[in-house]
Amino acid sequence: MDSLFTPISHVGEFGLIDRMKAVLGSGTGNAALIASIGDDAAVYRVDDDTAHVITTDALVEGVHFDRSFMPWPHLGAKAISVNVSDVAAMNAVARYAVVSIGLPRNMSVEMVESLYVGMRDACARYGIDLVGGDTTASPQVVLSVTVVGEVELSRLVFRRGARPGDLVCVTGDVGGAYAGLQALLEQRRSIQEMGDSYTPDLDPYRYVIKRQLTPEARVDVIADWAKRGVRPRALVDVSDGVASEVHHLCRASGCGARIRGAALPIDPETRFVADEQMQDVDTYALFGGEDYELLFALDPGDEHLLDPTTFTVIGAFTEASEGVTLVTPEGPIVPLQPSGFVHFTDPGADQEEDPDA
Amino acid sequence: MDSLFTPISHVGEFGLIDRMKAVLGSGTGNAALIASIGDDAAVYRVDDDTAHVITTDALVEGVHFDRSFMPWPHLGAKAISVNVSDVAAMNAVARYAVVSIGLPRNMSVEMVESLYVGMRDACARYGIDLVGGDTTASPQVVLSVTVVGEVELSRLVFRRGARPGDLVCVTGDVGGAYAGLQALLEQRRSIQEMGDSYTPDLDPYRYVIKRQLTPEARVDVIADWAKRGVRPRALVDVSDGVASEVHHLCRASGCGARIRGAALPIDPETRFVADEQMQDVDTYALFGGEDYELLFALDPGDEHLLDPTTFTVIGAFTEASEGVTLVTPEGPIVPLQPSGFVHFTDPGADQEEDPDA
Per-residue pLDDT of chain B (357 residues; tens, 9 = 90+): 446 789 988 888 888 888 888 998 888 889 999 999 888 999 999 999 999 999 999 999 999 998 888 999 999 999 999 999 999 999 999 999 999 999 998 899 999 999 999 999 999 999 999 999 889 999 999 999 999 999 999 999 999 999 999 999 999 999 999 999 999 999 888 888 888 888 878 888 999 999 999 999 999 999 999 999 999 999 999 999 999 999 999 999 999 999 999 999 999 999 999 999 999 999 999 999 999 999 999 999 999 999 999 999 999 999 999 999 999 878 889 999 987 544 444 433 333 333 332
Q: With cut-offs at 50, 70 and 90, classify the pLDDT of residue A3.
A: low
CB atoms < 10 A from the CB of A337, how many? 18
**CB-CB under 8 Å, B343 with A116:** no
Residue among B136, B142, B134, B119 nearest B62 (CA): B142
Q: Which residue of A has its CA nearest to B62?
A: A138
- Position B152 scores a pLDDT of 97
**CB-CB under 8 Å, A41 with B142:** no
Dihedral in degrees, nearest 10, Cα atoms A181, A183, A187, A192: 50
Interacting residues of A241 by C-beta distance below 8 A, sequence separation 6+: A286, A287, A288, A289, A291, A339, A340, A341
If you ran DSSP here, which 8-state letter would residue B174 be given? S
What's the whole-number mean pLDDT along residues A88-98?
98
**CB-CB under 8 Å, A20 with B123:** no
Q: With cut-offs at 50, 70 and 90, classify the pLDDT of residue A340.
A: low
Q: How many CA atoms lie within 13 A of B311 on its CB side?
A: 27
**CB-CB under 8 Å, A146 with B63:** no
Sign of the alpha-carbon torsion through B251, B256, B261, B267: negative
**b/e burial code for range B106-130 (CB count within 10 A of at least 16 → b):** ebbbebbbbbbbbbbebbeebbbbb
**b/e burial code for range A283-310 (CB count within 10 A of at least 16 → b):** ebbbbbbbbbbbbbbbbeebeeebeeee
Domains of chain B: 8-155 (3.30.1330.10), 167-335 (3.90.650.10)
Task: Describe the strand order of the beta sheet including B234-237 as a list of residue ranges.
Answer: B234-237, B294-298, B167-171, B311-319, B255-260, B324-327, B333-335
Q: CA of A354: how far to CAs of A15, A127, A238, in Å?
A: 11, 42, 22
Contact list, B103 vs chain A (CB under 8 Å) = 8, 16, 344
Question: What mean pLDDT is reported for chain A?
Answer: 91
**CB-CB under 8 Å, B135 with A16:** yes
**For B116, which of A23, A32, A133 is closest by C-beta distance?**
A23
Q: With cut-offs at 50, 70 and 90, classify the pLDDT of residue A348.
A: very low
**CB-CB under 8 Å, B28 with A55:** no
Category of B112 on φ-ψ map: left (φ > 0), alpha (ψ -120 to 50) or beta: alpha
- Which runs of E-coded beta strand occur in chain A? 33-35, 42-45, 50-60, 93-103, 129-137, 142-152, 167-171, 234-237, 255-260, 294-298, 311-319, 324-327, 333-335
Distance CA B166, CA B169 (A): 9
The proportion of chain A whose per-residue pLDDT surpasses 70, expressed as a percent, equals 94
**For B37, which of A17, A24, A132 is closest by C-beta distance?**
A132
- Of the ranges A22-31, A247-256, B61-70, which is most confident? A247-256
Q: How many CB pairs under 8 A join A and B?
A: 261
Contact list, B108 vs chain A (CB under 8 Å) = 4-8
> Environment class of residue A277 by beta-carbon count within 10 Å: exposed (0-12), middle (13-18) or buried (19+)?
middle
Cite the DSSP H helix spans in A236-323: 242-253, 268-276, 281-287
**For A42, which of B102, B132, B138 is closest by C-beta distance?**
B132
Cα of first residue to Cα of last residue in chain A, in angstroms, is 14
Residue among A229, A222, A242 nearest A175 (CA): A242
Contact B120, A25 (CB under 8 A): yes
DSSP B311-334: EEEEEEEEEGGG-EEEE-TTS-EE
Interacting residues of B319 by C-beta distance below 8 A, sequence separation 6+: B164, B255, B256
How far does the CA of residue A13 sit from the closest CA of chain B (Å)? 6
**CB-CB under 8 Å, B46 with A116:** no
- Of the ranges A13-17, A30-34, A155-159, A203-207, which is most confident? A155-159
DSSP B238-299: -SS-HHHHHHHHHHHHTEEEEEEGGG----HHHHHHHHHTT--HHHHHHH------EEEEE-
Mutate to test the interface with B, among A146, A240, A341 (most CBs of B within 10 A): A146
**CB-CB under 8 Å, B23 with A120:** yes
Query: Which of A111-115, A169-173, B89-93 has the weakest average pLDDT?
Result: A111-115
Is the interface score ipTM higher than 0.85?
yes
> Environment class of residue A37 by beta-carbon count within 10 Å: exposed (0-12), middle (13-18) or buried (19+)?
middle
Query: Which of A244-248, A337-341, B73-77 has the weakest average pLDDT?
Result: A337-341
Q: Which residue of A has its CA nearest to B344?
A: A137
**CB-CB under 8 Å, B146 with A54:** yes
